[in-house]
Structure 1
Amino acid sequence: MRLVMLGPPGAGKGTQATKFATRLGIPQLSTGDMLRETVASGSALGLRAKHIMERGELVPDDVVVSVVTNRISQPDTANGFILDGFPRTVTQAEALDQELAGRGIELDAVLELEVNEDALLDRIRGRAEEAAKNGGCIRKDDNPEVFRTRLEVYRAQTAPVTKYYRAQGLLGTVDGLQSIDAVTAGLTAVLAKAALLRIGDKISDASSIGKHSS
């Protein structure tokens, strides 16, 4: 099964991607992890990404797409993968579609964790206040102003990706502010509705997987 996990920062994408990767026996592919692995490899692509990141610049679409393309070429993705943090732009989504089409495969579903931004900011403020009260360190990402900026960037760049996938009939949306277990159940229901997963089972017959509306 080939899945994309979408949602704003703090929505819980990584948590859910990890759970489904374990459940389905497929790798979770995080953009951050893939970039770090590419840099560590010392390849020409890794050196290019390293120089860009050291300058504090955003890694351009062509580099990110190349990193993802290289990763999904590895043997452990033969039965599928979950992309977490990619694609971030419509350009990246289009490039991914072209790459998969060239391999004769396609995405099976795109899972979006939808959140109320004000409620999400309240959650972040509460987490920061709790850390301060307990004498702990407040993570940079838990600074409400920094987090608000990240949300604005997401809304401008990544939110249009949901429209792109909705038009393809691939998008399934779940309220990401529910409990972790409730979100997992909601995502399972989305996949079950698309005939990709049976509730209570690991996975349905992969031979029947294709594009489904959700």
Structure 2
Amino acid sequence: MTRIVLLGASGSGRTTQALHLQARLRLPAISTSEILRLEIANATDLGLEVKRFVDAGEFVPDRLTIELVRSRLGMPDAQHGWILEGYPRTAFQAEELDFLLDELGTPLDCAIYLQASEETLMQRSRSRGGSDDRIEIVQKRIEQFFELTIPLLEYYGYKQKLLTINSELDIATVSTRIEYGIEHLGQ
């Protein structure tokens, strides 16, 4: 059983690496962004509440995100492990995830931080396009991410579950380093 969280700002390569790990490890890659998009597209009560925050370029509040993650990790395809991308974003969310995993008897194996400079994150995010990728929103997300990241990295570092990877390298090199790091974490 393998349970991994992928951490990194928008543009760090989280989704790309989640999909690579999904194929390599044969585990579901669970994207909180995708879960949120589906809620918005389905115009559920939760989706309409989430949409207000997304449209403003804000992070979705913990109480909403935690509820969605709890539901998703309880699905049958996640019973033998998973790759969680886009969550947690705060130390509080990391603690909540640990409480949930303790309840399920399935502790987290590894938190992988895909590290990139602000310049790289801006360039990658802007080149993707999309209605939620206006420059002001991208900049705001990056600033919020860095404000919240240090306590999150300290949390996983203290638990000796943190693996930091330079995500400015080419995709194949980043993937190789992640795989190597997972194999050797805790040794």
Note if contact 2:91-2:155 (Cα within 8 Å) is conserved in structure 1: yes
* Paired position in structure 2 for 1:18: 19
Q: Distance in 2 between matches of 1:139 and 1:170?
A: 34
Q: How many residues align?
A: 182
TM-score (norm 2): 0.86
SS of residue paired to 1:59? coil
SS of residue paired to 1:106? coil
* Paired position in structure 1 for 2:157: 166
Indicate yes or no: 2:139 matched with 1:148: yes
* Paired position in structure 1 for 2:50: 53
SS of residue paired to 1:55? helix
SS of residue paired to 1:173? strand
Q: Distance in 2 between matches of 1:37 and 1:119?
A: 28
Decide whether aligned partners of structure 1 residues 168 and 6 sit closer, same or farther in structure 2, where only a CA change above 3 A counts: same
**Unpaired segments ≥5 residues, structure 1:** 129-137, 195-211
Q: Distance in 1 between matches of 2:124 and 2:42?
A: 37
TM-score (norm 1): 0.76
**Unpaired segments ≥5 residues, structure 2:** none
State the Cα distance separating 1:116 from its structure 2 match. Answer: 2.1
State the Cα distance separating 1:36 from its structure 2 match. Answer: 3.5
Decide whether aligned partners of structure 1 residues 70 and 124 sit closer, same or farther in structure 2, where only a CA change above 3 A counts: closer
1:193-204, aligned counterparts within 5 Å?
Answer: 193-194=184-185
Higher relative contact order (CA 8 A, sep 6+): 2
* Paired position in structure 1 for 2:112: 111
Note if contact 1:88-1:158 (Cα within 8 Å) is conserved in structure 2: yes
Decide whether aligned partners of structure 1 residues 188 and 163 sit closer, same or farther in structure 2, where only a CA change above 3 A counts: same
Structure number with larger C-alpha Rg: 1
